[in-house]
Amino acid sequence: MSEVAQRILVVEDQRLIAADLEITLKKLGYVVVGNVSSGEDAISKADQLRPELVLMDVIRREKPRLVITSYPEDRHPDHARAGQLVTDAAFYAGLRRIETNHPAHRPQHTIYFPTGIMHEPDFVVDVTAAMETRRAAILAFASQFHREGSEEPETVLSQKKFLDAIEARARHVGFLVGVDFGEGFLTKRPPRIDDPVAAFEGFEPGF
């Protein structure tokens, strides 16, 4: 990771989620320069600490061909806002008249993954080989999920069946394309398929 853009200001009004975010970011090598719970505090703190990580400039610096974010229509308003924020940032990163630390760059496309609301996927990626890593990444936010003996009020996410449902969805989406586990994605423009025969190979086992 580059020495620049390693400082992050966490803004989250739920204490346990904020703590999980800070731990995860530190494991990824970032420096968490502050942890605040409101927009007003964020503005004040940002002025003091000047964190370098600005989403649009990250896109310009890394020059991704694709950007993947949450679908901007979700049960949780933060997920919806995040999806729209990333979509907008990917577009604005290509506007040359907006000057930042890096030259303009626009990804070829922004694609979306569903979170709380199930959407019919436009294409599916086989994630069978990555399922253990996927489970570990989800459980990194342990405070949000089921914990035996917890006295916290039950939520949609803290039900034991929530994690079971997440895995069941991956199995179902995988079944649609003939693999053990799949991740479905949505896109505003269809991907090009160079070999349609190969794309559907294995859909009818035994033939």
pLDDT of residue 63: 94
How many domains is the chain partitioned into structurally? 3
Looking at the structure, do residues 18 and 43 belong to the same domain, yes or no? yes
pLDDT of residue 158: 74
pLDDT of residue 205: 86
pLDDT of residue 166: 87
For 41, the domain range is 1-53
Which residue ranges in the chain fall short of pLDDT 50? 1-5, 51-53
pLDDT of residue 2: 42
pLDDT of residue 36: 73
Is 77 within the bounds of a domain? yes
| Domain boundary residue, one of 53, 69, 89 | 53
Looking at the structure, do residues 58 and 103 belong to the same domain, yes or no? yes
pLDDT of residue 7: 66
Is 128 within the bounds of a domain? yes
Is 49 within the bounds of a domain? yes
Is 195 within the bounds of a domain? yes
Question: Which region, left, alpha or beta, applies to residue 88 given φ > 0 means left and ψ of -120 to 50 means alpha?
Answer: alpha
pLDDT of residue 187: 95
Q: Phi, psi (5° rounding) for residue 126? A: -70, 115
Is 115 within the bounds of a domain? no
Its pTM stands at 0.68
| Domain boundary residue, one of 14, 29, 53 | 53
Looking at the structure, do residues 203 and 136 belong to the same domain, yes or no? yes
Looking at the structure, do residues 20 and 67 belong to the same domain, yes or no? no
Is 78 within the bounds of a domain? yes
The first and second tokens of residue 64, run together, are 């991704």
Looking at the structure, do residues 137 and 101 belong to the same domain, yes or no? no
pLDDT of residue 85: 80
Return d(Cα 19, Cα 192) in angstroms, integer.
Answer: 41
Q: 175, 163 in Cβ contact below 8 A? A: no
